[in-house]
Structure 1
Amino acid sequence: MAELENLVVTEKNLVSMVNSYLVNEMDRLERIRQLIENKKQANEHVPCSPNIGFASGDSTVNPVDAFLNIKRLVHNRNSLLGLLRENTAHDLLSFLSNEVMPREVDVNGAATALLRLQDTYQLEPTEIADGHIGKFAQTTSMTADDTFQVGYTAFANTDYYHALQWLLITKEKMDRENGTLSERNRSFTLSMLYDYISYSMHDRKNPEHALWYSRALNAIDPKHPSAEYVEIYQQIINESGSEWDGSWRNLPPIVNKRPMDGVFLEYEALCRGETRKTPKELSELYCFRQQNTPFLKLAPMKVEIVSFSPYAVVYRGILSDGETEHLKRIASPQLRRAMVVNDKRQSDTEAANMEASYRVAKNMWLNDNDDSVVARISKRMSEVTGLSMETAEQLQMANYGLGGHYEPHYDMAVEEDRQVAELNDQRHGNRVATGLFYMSQPVAGGATIFEELGLAVFPTKNDCLFWYNVHKSGRPDMRTRHAGCPVLLGQKWVANKWIHERGQEFRRPCDLSADV
C-alpha cells in the first residue's frame, strides 16, 4: 500500500514518457522516409550507359563506376541501419522494467485480496463488482473483463467456490455490456468463460449446470478440447437419477457452499468485531495512569487493560505523530516482501525463510544504533514494561498491502516448532513479550485478534498493544495465538518489538507455577 500511493505519479510519468517516445519515434521515421526519398531521387539520375555495366547487363564494368556504386550502397546501408537501430525507446523500456511498475503477479495478488476481504467481512461479490465496499461510498464499477480476472485467478488456484461466483457475475456483465465492448477488446473469449464455468459447476456438484454450459461451449466452439465433456456430464446426471429435462428454465438451484472450517470462521468473526466477551467480563477491564518510575511521573502513560490472563494492555499515545511519520519515511524505501520460516526445509541448502500466502505484508528492520528515534522508542518501551531491551530484536517495520493480513500464529517458539526455535536465537531465549505499535489507523479492518481469548484490538495510530507470550515459568502460553486481520479500507503500518527472556531474570522472575 505504501507503493500504491505513488502509482498515480508513476502513471502520469508513464504518459509523459510515452508521449516523448512517440515524438522521437515519429522524428526517426521521418528521417528514414527522407533518406529513402533522397536515394530514390539520386537513383533516377544515375546514367544507364554501357560504361556502368549493371544496367546494360554488360559484364565489363568501369572500375570507377564500380567503386562509386559500392560506396553508395554501403553508405545507404549504414545510414539505414543506423536509423533502424536508433533506440528511442530506451528510456521508456527502462521505466517499464522498473520495480515500481506493477506486474502480473500484483494483479493476481490484488484479485486474491478481494476474495479474502469478501469472505472475512461477509461482502457480497455482486456488490464488490458494482463498486460497493460495505457501508462505504461507492467507487468504480468493474467491467466483465475485470470480474473475469478475479474469477480466473480463483480458478487457477483451484478455488472453484470463488471462481464460480465471479465467473457467473462476468456472464451477467457481458450480457449487460453487449454491443458496448467487442470481444477482441477483452482478455477472454466466450468459449473460455463457458469452459471455466462448466468445470467450476462440476467441481461444486452442479452437474446439470455443468452440462448446460458444456453444451453451450460445444455450440459455439465444437473443436474446443473441453467440448467432449458433454458426454461425461450427461453420464454423471444419468447415474444420479436426476430428472432434469435439459432446459434452462428447469435447472435446479446452484449449490455453492463455502468450504471453510470453524477455526477460520471464528477468526473472521473476531475480525468483524464480533467479540465473545460477556458484559460482565468487559466491565472488569479498566484504564489507569502509569506513574511507577521517575520518567513516568513526569510523563504518565495511559494504559488500557484488554486481558488479565494472559496479561495484555494497550499503551495509549506512546508515540507522537512526528515519530511515526519519521519511521515510516525512513522505512519506505527499504520495504521488502515479508518472509516466514520454511517449516518444510529438508536440508541446509534450502532457504530458511520463504514467502507465504498467509502473510501478506512488506517489512524491514531498524536498529537502535542507526536512528535516535528508534533508540528513544526502545528506552520508552523499557520504562513502561519494566523489561530490559538489551536482548530485544530490532524494531521491525511492516506495511500491509491490499487485503494484507497475517493468519493466526505464535510469536514465541513452541516446543515442537524447531525452525522457529532456530530463528529466535536461543542464546537470548524465547520471545517473552511482544510490543505491537500501530503507526496508522485503517478506515476499516486490520484488527489484531486473539482467537482463544475472543479478543479483537482495532488499530489506533500512536498506540502500542503489549502482551506476554510465555508464562513466568518460561512455558509458552498457547492462548497468545493471534492474527492480523485483512485491511478493508485504508492502510496499516505497524512496528514490532520482540523482547527476549535473557536479561529479564530479575525484572520478571520465574514462578514455581507453570500457569502463571
Structure 2
Amino acid sequence: METVRAIAFLLLFFFTWAKAELFTAITDVEPLLETHKRIIDDLDDYLQKEERRLFTLKKHLNLYKREHERAMDDIPNYLGNPINAFTLIKRLTADLDFIEDSIKIGTEYIKNVTMNHVDVKYPSLEDLTGAAQALTRLQETYYLNVHDLAEGILNGVSYSTPMTASDCYELGRTLYNDKDYTNALAWMKEALRKYKDENVMYPFTEVDILEYIGFAYYLNGDVKTALEWTQRLLSVDPKHVRARGNIPHYQKTIAEQEAELKKQQRGETSDEPEEEDGQDYELSEYAKERKVYESLCRGEMEIPHEITKRLKCWYVTDTHPFLKLAPIKVEQMYVKPDIFMFHEVMTDDEIEFIKKRAKPRFKRAVVHDPKTGELTPAHYRISKSSWLRDEESPVIARITQRVTDMTGLSMLHAEELQVVNYGIGGHYEPHFDFARKRENPFTKFGGNRIATVLFYMSDVAQGGATVFTELGLSLFPIKRAAAFWLNLHASGEGDLATRHAACPVLRGSKWVSNKWIHQGGQELLRPCDLEYQEEGIIRKIPRPVPKTSR
C-alpha cells in the first residue's frame, strides 16, 4: 500500500506540474518522456513483484489448506508424524513472519483477531528449536535419511507432504544457531536442492544458503570444502563482502594445516598419545551406552538364549478374590533382574478418563537434580506430565489398588500416579529410577524407590520403546499393558542392571503413566537380606546379542 501511495503521489505531482508550466514550450516537455518511461518501468516492476508476491501467498495458502485437510482427517496420526509437527510449528512462527512482511495490513488484522480468542495459541521460537532438535534426534537414532525426511518419507513409507525449501532452510538455520553444524549442513544442502526446483519468492536467497553451507563446513573443521563452497558463492554474488573476507582466511588456515602435516611426516612433532583424563573416560562410557541404547531403540538386539529359555507366562489369581474371575495375565520378560509385563490391566475408558483429567495440568516433565533433590527440567527428557491423586476419583484409586494386586506391594508410600505424554521425538535418556548414594534420597516417601510400574496407555506406530541398556531388552508399548520391575536388591542397594530409557517416538503419540513404589510399608511384604552390591559394580549379566533374521 505504501508503494501504491508513493506512485500515486508521483503521478499527481507530475500532472499538476505539467499543467502549470509545460504547455508554454514543447522543448520543456521533451525531458518528461524520460520521466514517463521511468514511471512506466517502476509500475511494471511493481506489478511484477506484486504478481510474484500474490503467487507466493497463494502457494502458501494452498499448501496450508492441503495440510490442514489432511490433518483434520486423522489428527492424532497426523501430529504423531514428527515432520508434520515440525512444519506446523514452522508455519506459525517463521512462515507467519514472512507472510506478515509480505502483506502487513491484512495479516496484522488476522493475527490480532485470532489472538483475541482464548483457544488460539502460537508456538514460540523455542518450540521451533525443540522440533528441529527432535527431527535430528530421530534421524540419528533410527538412521533416517535426510533426503527421505525432506520428502516426507519415514522408513521407506510416505507419511506427509514433502518439505519445502523454506522448511529445510529454517530447520538448517535453527540447528546452525544451536551449534549443531553437521546436521545444519545436511539440511542446508536439501534447502539448496529444493530452492533450485521451486519457483517461489522466499525471504532468503541461494547466496544465503551457500553462505551457511560454506561456514558450516568451516566450523566442522573441513576448511578445504568450506573454501570450495565460498568460491561457489562468489560465482553467484562476486561482491559478497563476508565471502570475499573469508577466502584469504581459509587459504591461510589450509596452508598452516598442510605445514603442520609436513612437520608430523618429518617426525618433528611428538606422536605420543595424550593421557586420557577422567572426563574422556566418562565420555567414552557414555558413547558406548549410547550405541547400545540406539540399537535397542531400533530393535536390533535380543536377549540371549540362556535367559529366554527360562521365561514363563502365567495368570495371577491369588492376590485378590476378584482375580478368580478376572485373572491378570503375566509375561516374564527377563530373569534377575525380574521384569514382567502385565497384559490388559487398564481399560480404554480408564485411559481416556486419566488423559482427560491429566491434560489441563500438563507441565514439562522434570527429573530429580542429584545435587539438590529438587525437580528440574532437562534436555534429556522431552515430555509433559502431571500427577493424579487417589482422592480425586474412584478411577485413580482403583488403578492404585490394581498395582497392589499385580505386584503384592503396599501403596502406603507410593507416589501419585504420574501421567506422561511424549512430545515430538519425545524421549528420556538412560537413567535409574532409584536415588544413588551420592544423590538426595526420597526422604518424604519413606525410603528409596523399590519398584516401578509403567502403564502403556497407547500403542506407538514407530519407536517409543522402553529399553534396558545393561540387559539388551526392548519393551515396545502395548496399549492397556504395564511393565513392572524392582529397582533395588533385597538389601536395599540399587540394582544397576535396571538402567533404562524411553526411546524417541518416531511416529505416533506415546501416553504412559507411572506408579513409583517406595520402601516404606514393604518391611513384612519383602524383607531385606544381606545381599550387597558395591557402588558402580554390576553383577555378571549374560550379554545381549545382535538380532538375526530367521
Normalising by structure 2, we get a TM-score of 0.70
Residues 465 and 88 of structure 1: CA distance in aligned 2, closer, same or farther (over 3 Å): closer
Q: Where is the helix percentage greater, Structure 1 or Structure 2?
A: 2
Q: Out of 229, 241, 245, which is 1:213 matched to?
A: 229
Specify the code of the residue in structure 1 equivalent to 2:375: N
Specify the code of the residue in structure 2 equivalent to 1:309: K
**2:489 pairs with 1:471:** yes
Residue 292 of structure 2: aligned partner: 266
| CA deviation profile, 1:238-284 (whole Å, cap 9, x unmatched) | 23449xxxxxxxxxxxxxxxx99222111010001112422343232
Does the 8 A contact of 1:288 with 1:304 survive in 2? Answer: yes
| 1:363 shift after superposition | 0.4
Does the 8 A contact of 1:147 with 1:167 survive in 2? Answer: yes
Where do residues 211-250 of structure 1 align in structure 2 (5 Å cutoff)?
A: 211-219=227-235, 220=237, 222-225=239-242, 227-241=244-258
Residues 479 and 280 of structure 1: CA distance in aligned 2, closer, same or farther (over 3 Å): closer
| 1:90 shift after superposition | 5.8
Specify the code of the residue in structure 2 equivalent to 1:193: I
Specify the code of the residue in structure 2 equivalent to 1:271: C
Does the 8 A contact of 1:3 with 1:100 survive in 2? Answer: no
**2:203 pairs with 1:181:** no
Quote the Cα distance in structure 2 between the aligned partners of 1:449 and 1:136: 25
| 1:181 counterpart SS class | coil
Residues 116 and 454 of structure 1: CA distance in aligned 2, closer, same or farther (over 3 Å): same
| CA deviation profile, 1:473-505 (whole Å, cap 9, x unmatched) | 000111111100011111100000000000000
Specify the code of the residue in structure 1 equivalent to 2:208: M
Quote the Cα distance in structure 2 between the aligned partners of 1:135 and 1:3: 17
**2:216 pairs with 1:200:** yes
Where do residues 477-496 of structure 1 align in structure 2 (5 Å cutoff)?
A: 477-496=495-514
Where do residues 31-430 of structure 1 align in structure 2 (5 Å cutoff)?
A: 91-95=113-117, 100-177=121-198, 180-182=199-201, 185-186=202-203, 188-219=204-235, 220=237, 222-225=239-242, 227-241=244-258, 261-293=287-319, 294-343=321-370, 352-418=374-440, 421=441, 424-430=442-448
Percent identity between matched residues is 39
Quote the Cα distance in structure 2 between the aligned partners of 1:358 and 1:147: 24
Residues 326 and 221 of structure 1: CA distance in aligned 2, closer, same or farther (over 3 Å): farther
Does the 8 A contact of 2:79 with 2:508 survive in 1? Answer: no
Where do residues 492-507 of structure 1 align in structure 2 (5 Å cutoff)?
A: 492-507=510-525
Quote the Cα distance in structure 2 between the aligned partners of 1:325 and 1:139: 27
Quote the Cα distance in structure 1 between the aligned partners of 2:371 and 2:153: 40
| 2:161 counterpart SS class | coil
Residues 513 and 156 of structure 1: CA distance in aligned 2, closer, same or farther (over 3 Å): same
Quote the Cα distance in structure 2 between the aligned partners of 1:99 and 1:207: 47
What is the number of residues matched between the two proteins?
413
| 2:349 counterpart SS class | helix
| 1:390 shift after superposition | 1.1
Residue 462 of structure 1: aligned partner: 480
| 1:101 shift after superposition | 2.8
Residues 496 and 100 of structure 1: CA distance in aligned 2, closer, same or farther (over 3 Å): farther
Does the 8 A contact of 1:191 with 1:221 survive in 2? Answer: no
| CA deviation profile, 1:1-51 (whole Å, cap 9, x unmatched) | 98986999x99xx9xxxxxxxxxxxxxx9xxxxxxxxxxxxxxxxxxxxxx
Specify the code of the residue in structure 2 equivalent to 1:384: M
| CA deviation profile, 1:47-92 (whole Å, cap 9, x unmatched) | xxxxxxxxxxxxxxxxxxxxxxxxxxxxxxxxxxxxxxxx998643
Specify the code of the residue in structure 2 equivalent to 1:119: E
| CA deviation profile, 1:204-262 (whole Å, cap 9, x unmatched) | 232221002223344516354454121111122223449xxxxxxxxxxxxxxxx9922
Does the 8 A contact of 2:341 with 2:482 survive in 1? Answer: yes
Residue 431 of structure 1: aligned partner: 449
Does the 8 A contact of 2:414 with 2:445 survive in 1? Answer: no
Specify the code of the residue in structure 2 equivalent to 1:324: I
| CA deviation profile, 1:80-108 (whole Å, cap 9, x unmatched) | xxxxxxx998643323x867432222222
Q: Out of 451, 464, 477, which is 1:446 matched to?
A: 464
Residues 138 and 328 of structure 1: CA distance in aligned 2, closer, same or farther (over 3 Å): closer
Quote the Cα distance in structure 1 between the aligned partners of 2:501 and 2:424: 16
Quote the Cα distance in structure 2 between the aligned partners of 1:212 and 1:398: 48
| 1:483 counterpart SS class | strand
| 1:116 shift after superposition | 0.8
Specify the code of the residue in structure 1 equivalent to 2:200: L
Residues 90 and 148 of structure 1: CA distance in aligned 2, closer, same or farther (over 3 Å): closer
Q: Which runs of 5+ in 1 are unaligned?
A: 15-28, 30-86, 243-258, 346-350
**2:531 pairs with 1:513:** yes
| 1:369 counterpart SS class | helix
| CA deviation profile, 1:134-167 (whole Å, cap 9, x unmatched) | 1433421011111112211221111112111111
Specify the code of the residue in structure 2 equivalent to 1:310: P
Quote the Cα distance in structure 2 between the aligned partners of 1:239 and 1:433: 59
Quote the Cα distance in structure 2 between the aligned partners of 1:365 and 1:105: 25
Does the 8 A contact of 2:307 with 2:334 survive in 1? Answer: no
Does the 8 A contact of 2:308 with 2:334 survive in 1? Answer: no
After superposing the two structures, state which structure 1 stretch, 97-106 or 407-416, moved more: 97-106
Residues 438 and 175 of structure 1: CA distance in aligned 2, closer, same or farther (over 3 Å): same
Quote the Cα distance in structure 2 between the aligned partners of 1:88 and 1:197: 36
| CA deviation profile, 1:101-121 (whole Å, cap 9, x unmatched) | 322222221121111111111
Specify the code of the residue in structure 2 equivalent to 1:436: L
Normalising by structure 1, we get a TM-score of 0.74
Residues 4 and 417 of structure 1: CA distance in aligned 2, closer, same or farther (over 3 Å): farther
Q: Which runs of 5+ in 2 are unaligned?
A: 1-74, 93-105, 260-283, 534-538, 540-550
Quote the Cα distance in structure 2 between the aligned partners of 1:427 and 1:207: 56
Quote the Cα distance in structure 1 between the aligned partners of 2:471 and 2:318: 28
Quote the Cα distance in structure 1 between the aligned partners of 2:496 and 2:415: 21
After superposing the two structures, state which structure 1 stretch, 204-213 or 427-436, moved more: 204-213
| 1:401 shift after superposition | 1.0
Quote the Cα distance in structure 2 between the aligned partners of 1:99 and 1:226: 43
